[in-house]
Structure 1
């Protein structure tokens, strides 16, 4: 059902009227026998409100065009939220935009910029979407797609949508209360909030994830027996993910034979040594962390070693103890603040930041 009509020579967008204004307009139309002309079809209509409280226009009996298919209630509610989000961001917007053979659910304008929004609740073919996107682009309209059932070609293994700068696409998901939200990385945003954030440039395409420079790292201690002298002692591993600037997890793993690994960051090494000297960590026995020569790799690299005989603890041979610690629990955990992390991961994504601090700055 449309949200835009002409009443008494004035274009009305139902979303922008308060409940009181809608009631007054309904009274005015009835009292003065005014025609309500639906912009989408140029046919006569009436004012209505659906069960969710969304105001809209519907065709009068006998005024529906041939082969007219009314939109379902979800489409109406989504369009309403998109319009309100555009308004919140300070953009002008209209629904049911028609230009030559193009139809766009919502088009927002500001200065010389035009942004469209297409809502798809049923399955769509990627080839058709690509063709439409080219037409919109040729008419200087950048269109964003909201999918309930995105094409499989742009769907990730976890059912999220791949980030694509040329065809901005986002998934609509339903929560337990049957409310539709926009899935944006780890966030599920209200449609209105999402649209406002997008048009306010709080959401931006980025080709890579960049870790926050300062964050807290979990350091997990585990037991290990020296293969050379049989002495019981400890080593440690760090959590395998960091937070990006926009809050997405970056998987770093626990790389082997790498002297530049984050686990050897001076802040972590110094914090571990200080903790070992403290009352709480005095039971830990940790050998010197330094470069040692490995016959396996035929090179020297930063490594753990025996606190008693200084034998190298090869990264490969520590993996079984690390797996057990992850499965059954670490011996102990400390948290270390690091303020100089410089790590990037090639990953297309939509960077969301209330402060406009993006991964690709």
Structure 2
């Protein structure tokens, strides 16, 4: 189900670039003149529409051509990739093969000397095959960008890859964004590897209810038990004690908590049990420390009290990296980040 064919002058014809009424006329003209051919093998072409209205070309007698059929999702994502590349000043074509036949890109985008191949991998593919094909692109000076449907696949600075969810009817997403935005970022040099400044992380704040340990008080207090920071498939957890020595992250996280008259003050207190001072919860009535021992015991019964997004700054990125709990991921950053963690790897 290719999206591109050639006319009798050798010029490209893209199915998605032909208006619906012109598509019908082109089909009739092709039946009469048989002037359209497949770029993969030269076979005659038939013009078709899928059940969802996607226009595509089909072989008339496949013969020895090994080009496989593609799903509507595969076709739609190729069209989206072409549109995104062209919108950012790139020249983009579908189904482009190397002169020596070593590779064939779903979409090949070029701008100056830069070349990016977008591969839509809607069927399962093992890691060895992905790495082999990426190596072929690299040997040809082409940067490969992979759009996977499967959940597990290799990711590295040399292999840009994201998981795509959704359908033609419902739309597609990747990295919790519309796929259009992810591809736009890729062709605008805003798809970065690592934990780059300007990217967005999701935060989940958790809390529980504790009874004050002082028998003269015994007030019930809502406490904060910790925070999860989620970026891609990674999740990094922070307790209040962890935030004691991280002023930038502490300020960002605590300022996002909703006001709660049943929550005690969050401040640095001295704990006689640990013989140290750290950021802690306090009793809402008497302000006595509700320390790590009590909060850790309550974590099993804690629940999410707030979810929000934060912008990654160089300082916050350094804090996350220092914990060693994050695997680097590909991330979309803001259009004009003020600074970056050195050195995130851009797609192109």
Fold similarity call, TM over 0.5: yes
Q: Find the counterpart in structure 2 of residue 260 from structure 1.
A: 245
Alignment of 1:114-193 (within 5 A): 114-149=115-150, 152=152, 154=153, 163-174=155-166, 179=170, 181-184=172-175, 186-187=176-177, 189-190=178-179, 192-193=180-181
Distance in 2 of aligned mates of 1:249 and 1:208: 14
Aligned residues: 325
Q: Find the counterpart in structure 1 of residue 184 from structure 2.
A: 196
Matched, 1:224 2:211: yes
Q: Which is further off, 37-46 or 108-117?
A: 37-46
Distance in 1 of aligned mates of 2:255 and 2:14: 63
Decide whether aligned partners of structure 1 residues 210 and 225 sit closer, same or farther in structure 2, where only a CA change above 3 A counts: farther
**Contact 1:237 1:254 (8 Å CA) reproduced:** no
Q: Find the counterpart in structure 2 of residue 206 from structure 1.
A: 194
Alignment of 1:311-330 (within 5 A): 313-320=290-297, 326=302
Distance in 2 of aligned mates of 1:112 and 1:196: 19
**Contact 2:198 2:340 (8 Å CA) reproduced:** yes
Distance in 2 of aligned mates of 1:270 and 1:96: 50
Alignment of 1:241-280 (within 5 A): 241=227, 251-256=236-241, 259-260=244-245
Decide whether aligned partners of structure 1 residues 359 and 56 sit closer, same or farther in structure 2, where only a CA change above 3 A counts: same
Q: Which is further off, 71-80 or 135-144?
A: 71-80
**Contact 2:37 2:44 (8 Å CA) reproduced:** yes
Gaps of 5+ in 2: 343-348
Decide whether aligned partners of structure 1 residues 219 and 53 sit closer, same or farther in structure 2, where only a CA change above 3 A counts: closer
Per-residue CA distance 1:164-220 (angstroms, 9 max, x = gap): 221111223235x86462421x33x24x4543332123432233678989x999796
Distance in 1 of aligned mates of 2:147 and 2:188: 18
Q: 1:360 aligns with which of 335, 341, 345?
A: 341
**Contact 1:201 1:356 (8 Å CA) reproduced:** no
Q: 1:240 aligns with which of 226, 238, 263?
A: 226
Give the drift of 1:111. Answer: 1.6
Decide whether aligned partners of structure 1 residues 306 and 130 sit closer, same or farther in structure 2, where only a CA change above 3 A counts: closer
Distance in 2 of aligned mates of 1:67 and 1:39: 11
Q: Find the counterpart in structure 1 of residue 95 from structure 2.
A: 96
Per-residue CA distance 1:33-70 (angstroms, 9 max, x = gap): 2521211112222333332222222222xx42226454
TM-score by length of 1: 0.69
Give the drift of 1:322. Answer: 6.2
Alignment RMSD, CA only? 4.6
Gaps of 5+ in 1: 155-161
Give the drift of 1:222. Answer: 4.5
Per-residue CA distance 1:130-170 (angstroms, 9 max, x = gap): 122111111110011122235x4x3xxxxxxx642211112
Decide whether aligned partners of structure 1 residues 209 and 164 sit closer, same or farther in structure 2, where only a CA change above 3 A counts: farther
**Contact 2:264 2:287 (8 Å CA) reproduced:** no
Q: Find the counterpart in structure 2 of residue 158 from structure 1.
A: none
Instruction: State the secondary structure of the residue aligned to 1:86.
Output: helix
TM-score by length of 2: 0.72
